[in-house]
């Protein structure tokens, strides 16, 4: 509803126009003036009054046309006003359907700019000999007006002939030529092909608000007015889609956290750069970086701090290298750098020294001063490889070597590293065959009472009876079993043989405690407790005479899962011993936190009895305090045994009494001829 004030202003406009346009009153064609701001007809001649079905100008001018106007029409009219304000010489000829009193009236109207007396921009409308169009023509002309697809017609030389409202709304100026519309010249060249058939392409175009991406289809047609050849161009704004696509492409090749290129980028872009450098005869280096002890930061300060650290490292790398296309984050705390072209190895050395220095500078994380160091592996090209995969594999190997050197080191790839890996791969496949062909068996080393010299138990130690190499030591294959996951199978096999031996010796009157080694990898297995209980049940063993040897590293996590697992094993009857005691973290606080019943003093202490004496005595007295058994390992001499007697150590193992032997031989040691364990 209009206010009184608006009404009187409106009436003044109407009166004024009626005077000004009095000469047009007698024209036999409906003419009227549309007031955009007021959404009303400010003036109409008699023909227009008839068309609008109004008995007087007063009645018509008081109609508020905005009341039943759709939003699309409102926006279109706003657009017209803008167009006229920009250029008051333009005219549009369009088919409209007017709805006077709700009655549809299709008309062809010529719209032009019209200034009201108060200076506002209105629109002069001339309905031209409104012959009735057939329904299809009517609907198609309406569709052309309403569609958001920008449709325009250009002469073959590019002058604009027609634009639908959507095209008009987007264009910079009404007289813009076709070639001025495109930002890049290539678009016009593509259009040339359209003389034959329709062409479709996406182009960057100028619009009133700046630059956009339009999906364009262009075809040649005849101008319905001149009959001459023309371009019919339809355009859809796909900027949003294009931006989404570009983002998706970026994400496919970049790491979200640091914004650095990711592994995909490496195989695409770095591979190309290497090929180019190779073709030019340039030398370069591929640098593999892994942060030392990054996991500790994540565990102690939380993942958010870990993320901030990675971002900071990424920023330092960007700063050092400059061209981010030559850096990648491979995942976790691993980064890759491509350097080149380089003069010589001296230049690589210098750059790596700088890299190490910058990356290990302290940073603030959650109010703490934190410092991480990098382990760096380097492969040089073309010497160490001619493609990215080979170079990466070699730089990775060199990085592991740097870790072995004690971290915060850089290592260059050498051929030996590759051979070591080949050996490991061969070993893993051999181990699989060995498991299948039952080449493994548990041997037993006596555990002897220090005071009486009697056998109290035995440690099961696995042996690989290799068809060609003979007996292979576990030190040579346990790590490979751990890496490949075979350790779970192997562990169950050894436990089974140990349980059988325990049962058979017990049946012959020897209540021996049999210990079995448990690797940390095996301990982490989800079904460990159930599997072990099942093996004892199936083979008729007594868990109270079975001891599982774990290493200190298993206890480091100090988490509920570890305690729960150990407790479940102990509840079933197993004893738990700590193997190689004294070599790990020796954090004595865990001795009363975990259900442990035995400490096995590492043989390095026994080997250096003179210097290690205070430690051995300390371990033994502490064990007594916590009511734990103590076994000294690696006793090779009678002097060592005498010393252990003096320290009041309970049991020992060692070559002095005897090393590990096959079950049958062990049975003989016990002094009976019973059937040997399997």
> x/- site string to ligand C2E, residues 425 to 464, per CB under 6 A?
--------------------x---------------xx--
Beta bridge partners of 365: 368
> x/- site string to ligand C2E, residues 282 to 321, per CB under 6 A?
----------------------------------------
Three-class SS of residue 464? strand
Note whether 660 binds ligand C2E by CB under 6 A: yes
Note whether 651 binds Mg ion by CB under 5 A: no
Beta bridge partners of 364: 369
Note whether 531 binds ligand C2E by CB under 6 A: no
Q: Going by C-beta distance under 8 Å and a sequence separation of 6 or more, which residues neighbour residue 426? A: none
Burial class (CB in 10 A: 0-12, 13-18, 19+), 202: middle
Three-class SS of residue 219? strand
Q: Going by C-beta distance under 8 Å and a sequence separation of 6 or more, which residues neighbour residue 15? A: none
> x/- site string to Mg ion, residues 225 to 254, per CB under 5 A?
------------------------------
Q: What element of type H or E holds 266?
A: none
- Asked if 178 contacts 233 with a C-beta cutoff of 8 angstroms, the reply is yes
- Asked if 620 contacts 647 with a C-beta cutoff of 8 angstroms, the reply is yes
Cα angle 216, 217, 223 (rounded to 5 degrees) comes to 120
Q: Which residue of 160, 385, 654, 663 would you call a contact of ligand C2E, by CB under 6 A?
A: 654
Q: How far is the CB of 426 from ligand C2E (least distance, A)?
A: 21
CA atoms of 594 and 627, how far apart (whole Å): 13
Q: How far is the CB of 571 from ligand C2E (least distance, A)?
A: 23
CA atoms of 412 and 422, how far apart (whole Å): 18
Note whether 552 binds Mg ion by CB under 5 A: no
> x/- site string to ligand C2E, residues 144 to 183, per CB under 6 A?
----------------------------------------
Q: How far is the CB of 463 from ligand C2E (least distance, A)?
A: 7
Which of these segments, 75-83, 167-175, 526-534, 655-663, binds ligand C2E (CB under 6 A)?
A: 655-663
Q: Which does 565 bind (CB under 5 to 8 A by kind): Mg ion, ligand C2E, none?
A: none
- Asked if 180 contacts 188 with a C-beta cutoff of 8 angstroms, the reply is no
- Asked if 49 contacts 94 with a C-beta cutoff of 8 angstroms, the reply is no
Nearer residue to ligand C2E within complex by CB, 256 or 475 = 475
Q: Which does 473 bind (CB under 5 to 8 A by kind): ligand C2E, Mg ion, none?
A: ligand C2E
Taken as a whole, the chain contains a residue count of: 678
Q: How far is the CB of 633 from Mg ion (least distance, A)?
A: 5
- Asked if 354 contacts 274 with a C-beta cutoff of 8 angstroms, the reply is no
Residue 541 is encoded by which pair of tokens? 């063993």
Q: Which residue of 549, 552, 629, 651 would you call a contact of Mg ion, by CB under 5 A?
A: 549
Q: Which does 61 bind (CB under 5 to 8 A by kind): Mg ion, ligand C2E, none?
A: none
Q: Which does 659 bind (CB under 5 to 8 A by kind): ligand C2E, Mg ion, none?
A: ligand C2E
Three-class SS of residue 438? coil
Q: How far is the CB of 649 from Mg ion (least distance, A)?
A: 15
Note whether 580 binds Mg ion by CB under 5 A: yes
Q: How far is the CB of 442 from ligand C2E (least distance, A)?
A: 7
Which candidate, 401, 431, 432, places its Cα nearest to that of 417? Answer: 401
Which of these segments, 90-98, 172-180, 335-343, 631-639, binds ligand C2E (CB under 6 A)?
A: 631-639
Q: Which does 333 bind (CB under 5 to 8 A by kind): Mg ion, ligand C2E, none?
A: none
Q: Which residue of 165, 306, 474, 663 would you call a contact of ligand C2E, by CB under 6 A?
A: 474
Nearer residue to ligand C2E within complex by CB, 35 or 459 = 459
Note whether 547 binds Mg ion by CB under 5 A: no
CA atoms of 336 and 316, how far apart (whole Å): 13
Note whether 170 binds Mg ion by CB under 5 A: no
Query: Mutual orientation of helices 487-507 and 528-538 as an angle, nearest 10°?
Result: 30
| Bond prior to 49 in cis (omega within 30° of 0) | no
Q: Which does 13 bind (CB under 5 to 8 A by kind): ligand C2E, Mg ion, none?
A: none
Give the chain's count of helices (H) and strands (E).
27, 26
Q: How far is the CB of 459 from Mg ion (least distance, A)?
A: 6
> x/- site string to ligand C2E, residues 589 to 608, per CB under 6 A?
--------------x-----
Q: How far is the CB of 462 from ligand C2E (least distance, A)?
A: 4
Q: How far is the CB of 519 from ligand C2E (least distance, A)?
A: 4
Q: How far is the CB of 599 from Mg ion (least distance, A)?
A: 11
Which candidate, 120, 131, 112, places its Cα nearest to that of 31? Answer: 112
Note whether 547 binds ligand C2E by CB under 6 A: no
Residue 154 is encoded by which pair of tokens? 């250009």
- For the CA atoms of the chain, what is the radius of gyration? 45
The residues in 561-590 that bind ligand C2E, with binding defined as CB under 6 A, are: 579-580
Residue 346 is encoded by which pair of tokens? 């001296």
Helices (H), 437-573: 478-484, 487-507, 520-523, 528-538, 552-556, 560-572
Q: Which residue of 396, 579, 629, 651 would you call a contact of Mg ion, by CB under 5 A?
A: 579
- Asked if 9 contacts 62 with a C-beta cutoff of 8 angstroms, the reply is no
- Asked if 503 contacts 512 with a C-beta cutoff of 8 angstroms, the reply is no
Nearer residue to Mg ion within complex by CB, 292 or 633 = 633
Note whether 519 binds ligand C2E by CB under 6 A: yes
The residues in 495-534 that bind Mg ion, with binding defined as CB under 5 A, are: 517
Please give the residue ranges that form the binding site for Mg ion (CB under 5 A).
517, 549, 579-580, 633
Please give the residue ranges that form the binding site for ligand C2E (CB under 6 A).
445, 461-462, 473-475, 478, 491, 494, 517, 519, 549, 579-580, 603, 633-636, 653-655, 659-660
């Amino acid at each position: 509803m209009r206010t009184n004030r608006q009404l009187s202003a409106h009436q003044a406009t109407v009166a004024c126009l009626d005077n000004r346009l009095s000469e047009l009153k007698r024209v036999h064609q409906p003419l009227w003036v549309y007031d955009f701001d007021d959404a009303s007809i400010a003036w109409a001649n008699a023909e227009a009054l008839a068309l609008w079905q109004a008995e007087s100008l007063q009645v018509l001018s008081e109609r508020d046309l905005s009341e039943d106007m759709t939003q699309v029409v409102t926006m279109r009219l706003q657009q017209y006003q803008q167009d006229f304000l920009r250029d008051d010489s333009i005219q549009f000829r369009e088919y409209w359907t007017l709805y006077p009193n709700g009655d549809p009236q299709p008309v062809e109207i010529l719209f032009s700019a019209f200034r009201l007396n108060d200076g506002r921009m209105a629109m002069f409308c001339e309905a031209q000999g409104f012959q009735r169009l057939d329904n299809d023509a009517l609907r198609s002309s309406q569709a052309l007006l309403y569609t958001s697809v920008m449709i325009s017609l250009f002469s073959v030389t590019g002058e604009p002939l027609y634009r639908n409202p959507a095209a008009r709304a987007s264009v910079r100026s009404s007289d813009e030529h076709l070639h001025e519309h495109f930002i890049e010249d290539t678009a016009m060249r593509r259009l040339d092909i359209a003389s034959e058939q329709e062409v479709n392409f996406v182009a960057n175009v100028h619009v009133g608000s700046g630059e956009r991406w339009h999906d364009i289809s262009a075809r040649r047609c005849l101008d319905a007015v001149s009959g001459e050849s023309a371009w019919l161009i339809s355009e859809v704004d796909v900027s949003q889609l294009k931006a989404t696509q570009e983002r998706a492409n970026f994400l496919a090749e970049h790491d979200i956290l640091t914004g650095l290129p990711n592994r995909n980028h490496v195989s695409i872009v770095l591979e190309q750069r290497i090929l180019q450098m190779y073709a030019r005869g340039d030398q370069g280096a591929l640098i593999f970086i892994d942060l030392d002890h990054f996991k500790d930061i994540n565990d102690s300060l939380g993942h958010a701090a870990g993320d901030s650290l990675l971002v900071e490292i990424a920023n330092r790398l960007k700063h050092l290298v400059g061209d981010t296309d030559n850096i990648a984050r491979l995942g976790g705390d691993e980064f890759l750098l491509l350097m080149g072209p380089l003069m010589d190895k001296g230049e690589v050395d210098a750059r790596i020294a700088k890299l190490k220095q910058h990356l290990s500078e302290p940073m603030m994380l959650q109010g703490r001063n934190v410092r991480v160091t990098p382990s760096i592996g380097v492969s040089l090209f073309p010497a160490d490889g001619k493609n990215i995969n080979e170079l990466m594999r070699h730089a990775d190997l060199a990085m592991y070597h740097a870790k072995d050197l004690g971290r915060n080191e850089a290592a260059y790839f050498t051929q030996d590293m590759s051979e070591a890996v080949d050996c490991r791969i061969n070993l893993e496949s051999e181990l699989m065959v060995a498991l299948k062909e039952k080449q493994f068996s548990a041997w037993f080393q006596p555990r002897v009472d220090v005071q009486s010299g009697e056998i109290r138990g035995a440690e099961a130690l696995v042996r690989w009876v290799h068809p060609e190499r003979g007996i292979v030591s576990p030190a040579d294959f346990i790590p490979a079993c751990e890496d490949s996951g075979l350790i779970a199978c192997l562990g169950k096999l050894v436990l089974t043989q140990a349980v059988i031996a325990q049962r058979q010796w017990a049946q012959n009157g020897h209540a021996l405690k049999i210990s079995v080694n448990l690797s940390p990898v095996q301990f982490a297995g989800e079904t460990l407790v159930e599997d072990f209980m099942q093996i004892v049940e199936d083979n008729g063993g007594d868990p109270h005479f079975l001891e599982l040897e774990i290493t200190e590293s298993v206890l480091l996590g100090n988490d509920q899962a570890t305690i729960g697992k150990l407790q479940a094993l102990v509840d079933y009857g197993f004893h738990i011993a700590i193997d190689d005691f004294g070599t790990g973290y020796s954090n004595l606080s865990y001795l009363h936190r975990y259900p442990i019943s035995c400490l096995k003093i590492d043989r390095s202490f026994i080997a250096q009895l003179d210097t290690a004496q205070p430690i051995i005595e300390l371990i033994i007295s502490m064990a007594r305090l916590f009511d734990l058994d103590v076994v000294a390992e690696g006793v090779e001499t009678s002097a060592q045994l005498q010393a252990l007697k003096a320290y009041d150590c309970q049991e020992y193992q060692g070559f002095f009494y005897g090393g590990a032997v096959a079950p049958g031989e062990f049975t003989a040691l016990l002094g009976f001829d019973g059937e040997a364990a399997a």
